[in-house]
A and B are shown apart, each in its own frame.
Chain A
């Protein structure tokens, strides 16, 4: 399978805490993306990290990529209740996205 696998499957934290989600994948990639999905806004692109990058920041998001371990992590700092959603990593191979099963994040106010 070319899907990524997220870990943990579910995560519950208090508002203000940091949340870390991990993704492992199996094949060589062009880049890796993280998406967020909630009932209000559907599936939304968060951040893209290219295969030659090791770390990338966007606001409260920090993504790392270790191609030798075929793994990535998404860190959300100072979480907010509005961050409650499912988070998916997606590997990009030949312009196609292959999604993992997702991490369900709940931020408790």
Chain B
């Protein structure tokens, strides 16, 4: 089966600019996650969607980050305006609905963001 797709793979922007990342999960996966991974650290959950509804966005800096998942498939994560500390790899993951190996998440290749 095709994996989780993300684009772009790399992005360099200046601080205070805006940026958007796109994710296409594995077909049929109802749950979608966005993670932020700062260099040298493990991934940190930003937001979780179940279909097109938000399940958990407690770690999302809502003053500058936003995410949506229209039609319960693709998702976009936006940062506006970006700060230097937003430099990280942004990972998208998806998983099956509960009852179907619910805990295993499949990750995309990530988008490496550099804010200068």
- Check: A97 CB closer than 8 A to any chain B CB: yes
Residues from chain B with a CB closer than 8 A to the CB of A97 are: 33, 43, 45, 105
A44 touches B48 (CB 8 A): no
User: Per-position contact with B for A44-86: 1 when CB-CB < 8 Å, else 0?
Assistant: 1100100000000000000000000000000000000000000
Number of A-B contacts (CB under 8 A): 47
Query: Could you say which of B16-24, B62-70, B73-81, B96-104 contacts chain A?
Result: B96-104
B104 touches A45 (CB 8 A): yes
Residues from chain A with a CB closer than 8 A to the CB of B34 are: none
Interface size class of A (residues with CB under 8 A): 20 to 34
The minimal Cβ–Cβ distance linking A45 to chain B, given in whole angstroms, is 5
- Which residue of B31, B45, B106, B109 is within 8 Å of A98 (Cβ)? B45
Residues from chain A with a CB closer than 8 A to the CB of B48 are: 95-96
User: Per-position contact with B for A1-15: 1 when CB-CB < 8 Å, else 0?
Assistant: 001000000000000
Residues from chain B with a CB closer than 8 A to the CB of A92 are: 103
A43 touches B103 (CB 8 A): no
A3 to B41, CA, bound (A): 11
The minimal Cβ–Cβ distance linking B47 to chain A, given in whole angstroms, is 11
- A30, A48, A97, A100: most-surrounded residue (chain B CB, <10 A): A97
A residues neighboring B (CB under 8 Å): 3, 30-31, 33, 42-45, 48, 88, 90, 92, 95-102
